[in-house]
Amino acid sequence: MSENTLDPNQLEKLTGIFRVLFNAPQLELRDNLTAKDVAGWDSFNHVNLIISIEEEFGLRFSNDEVGSLQNVGHLKHLLASKLASS
């Protein structure tokens, strides 16, 4: 497993969070997916998304990291590196 890639279980878990939070059972996490592609992913729900990822994976993003996320690929990368270093 590369340091910056989520393993399949982790990816499934992350996908599950997105699907529940945005009530989109078929959603797939393409790397270029952004907030404007997903109904309900507004700035407020972005905070809920981060909170949920933090809770489910048992880690913490810094407030800077939360603001700087561009797309799902970026999020996966950040999450993977956090998981690898924890």
Partner 1 sequence: MLNEFLTDLFKGQTGKALSLLESRPVEQPVPPDVITMLRLAILQRDLNFLTCQRLHNLWTRWGRPALKPNATPRKVLLLSDFTADNFVPLVTLFCAAQGVEAEVILPGFDSIEQTVLDPTSSLYRARPDIVILFFSDHWLRRYTGNAALVRHSDLEQAQETLSNLVREIESNSPADILVGNLPGRAYPLPAGTVAVKDRMGWNLAVTRFNDWLARRSSTRVHVVDLAEAVFGAGGRQAVGATNFLRARMAYETSGTLSTARELGSGIAHICGKTHRALVSDWDNTLWGGEVAEVGSFGVECGQESPDALGYYMVQEYLKSLQPLGILLAGISRNDPAVSRIFDDNPEMALKLDDFSSLQIGWNPKSESVARVSKELGFGPEFMVFLDDSLYEIAEVLTSHPYMDAVLAGPDSQSTLARLTRMRLFNAVSLSEEDLKRSSRALKLREQRELQSSFGNIEDFLKAIQVRLNVSPLNVNNLERVVQMFQKTNQFNLTTRRHREDDLKQLEKRGGNVFAFSYEDTFGSQGLISIVNLVPEDDAVFIESWLMSCRVLNRTVEQAIFSFIVQKAKGKRVRGEFIPTEKNGLVRNLYPGLGFRNISRDEPTGTEYWVYDGPGPGSEPPKHFTTIQES
- Contact status: 83 vs partner 1 (CB under 8 A): no
**Which spans in the chain are helix H?**
8-21, 43-57, 63-68, 72-85
Which of the stretches 2-10, 28-36, 46-54, 74-82 binds partner 1 when contact is defined by CB under 8 A? 46-54
Please pick, from the candidates 44, 58, 64, 86, the single residue that binds partner 1 as defined by CB under 8 A.
44
Residue with Cβ nearer partner 1 (2 or 64): 64
Please state, as a whole number, how many other Cβ atoms lie within 10 Å of the Cβ of residue 55: 10
Residue 17 binds partner 1, judged by CB under 8 A: yes
Distance between CA atoms of 17 and 12, rounded to whole angstroms? 9
